[in-house]
Amino acid sequence: MRLIITGGGTGGHTSPAVAVYEELLRRDPRLNVLWIGRDGAIEQRICTKLNIPFRSLPVEGWPRAKFVRRGWVVTKLAWSMARVWFYLRNFQPDVVFGVGGYVSLPAMYVAPRMGIPSVLHEQNRLMGMTNRMAAQRAARIFLSFPETIGDFPKAKAAYVGNPVRAAFANPPSRDNARARFNLDPARPAVLITGGSQGARSINDTVGKMVSLFSPNELQIIWMTGQNDVVRARDAVKDSPVSVQVHSFIEDMAAAFAAVDLVVARSGASTTAELALMHKPSILIPYPHATDNHQEHNAKAFVESGASVLLRDGDMSPEKLIGSLRELLRDHARLESMQRAAGTLAKPGAADSIAAEILSLAFD
């Protein structure tokens, strides 16, 4: 089968695409894939790592407030449409798979008009603008939440969940994971992460919070992102609790398995991973996400009882440490949150999407 994947910009868009790619490759070892994205973005780095051919587009996101730039953005979009037509004509894909992000729009718009079936996956509870536009002509629409908000053809939509990388479906045991991170098996452990790039507001709060703990009260794995790692290590030099500072953690499934509680943003991939691994969490939505979609994701987890919501603007060292202490001391609540997170998991998402793509390709 010949498949074009398009989309990216964030790990929330690219991680599900990689999970589906892995499943398709397992089913069809002769799979031929081309990825269309933006130069220098996360999708290009992923393609380099996985040895997937990559083609770029100059398209930009719509400037909602900068009217002067809109003419230039429209020009780039038109040029991107022309380049996509050239890519599609030469590659001759059986299906185009869009995972969102503004860079996916040209291929998702042009493919159906060339008679090539397109399918899309929406990772968030609130459907993004690009996917709302692409959904009108898509052959299949895959949703991560049953109550997805947005205008799209409901008859073409199926709730399949958010595809998650295979490592999260087969994580190490708690004891094994704790040994990998040199954690005390008898002491509560927390993972704090703002995502692969880090989150300055979370890092600032954690840096001030660690001195407030009692000696050996808990242990922390803290993923800061590259920009804040030096500052974070300096902040924890005299910490009364054990704090491991990492700029990036390659095996996040092991980090999840090692801890009792996760503090994180509420991007689509993170929430899907939390659900699959039945992890209680404190979610701090990124306040500047498009259409505030991270808060919609977080609310779905809060409503189910799987998470506690802490808004970025309300966050302080005192509030965060208070939430951590309240949850870690209430074992019954943590167990309830674990069960609730599990109800949101859809472990067969990648399998379901791969099966539909193959069905379209060989129909």
Domain co-membership, 160 together with 173: no
Domain co-membership, 190 together with 159: no
Check if the beta carbon of residue 98 is closer than 8 Å to that of residue 119. Answer: yes
Domain co-membership, 200 together with 216: yes
Domain co-membership, 92 together with 202: no
CA distance 262 to 239: 20
Phi, psi of 358 (to 5 degrees): -65, -40
Give the three-state DSSP class for 5: strand
Cα dist. 43→17, 52, 53, 121, 199 in Å?
A: 10, 10, 11, 16, 20
Domain co-membership, 314 together with 209: yes
Model pLDDT, residue 70: 67
Domain co-membership, 153 together with 187: no
Domain co-membership, 99 together with 223: no
Residues of the domain holding 319? 168-343
Domain co-membership, 93 together with 159: yes
Structure tokens, 89 = 């004509």
Strand partners, 283: 264, 309
Q: How many CB atoms lie within 10 A of CB 46?
A: 21
Phi, psi of 278 (to 5 degrees): 55, 50
Domain co-membership, 69 together with 217: no
Domain co-membership, 204 together with 298: yes
Kindly report the CATH number assigned to the domain that includes residue 276. 3.40.50.2000
Provide CB contacts within 8 A for 305, sequence distance 6+. Answer: 336, 337, 340
Model pLDDT, residue 76: 83
User: What's this model's pTM, rounded to 2 decimal places?
Assistant: 0.81
Model pLDDT, residue 73: 72
Domain co-membership, 75 together with 189: no
Give the three-state DSSP class for 244: strand
Model pLDDT, residue 291: 73
What is the number of structural domains in the chain? 2
* pLDDT tens for each residue of the chain, 363 residues long: 999 999 998 888 899 999 999 999 999 999 999 999 999 999 999 999 999 999 999 887 666 655 656 666 778 888 899 999 999 999 999 999 999 999 999 999 999 999 999 999 999 888 988 999 999 999 999 999 888 988 899 999 999 999 998 889 889 999 999 999 999 999 999 999 987 666 899 999 999 999 999 999 999 999 998 899 999 999 999 999 999 999 999 899 999 999 999 999 998 889 999 999 999 999 999 998 777 889 999 999 999 999 999 999 999 999 999 999 999 999 999 999 999 999 999 899 999 999 999 999 987
> Which H helix or E strand runs over 233?
helix 229-235
Phi, psi of 37 (to 5 degrees): -155, -150
Model pLDDT, residue 71: 66
Domain co-membership, 209 together with 158: no
User: Nearest CA to 289 among 11, 7, 6?
Assistant: 11
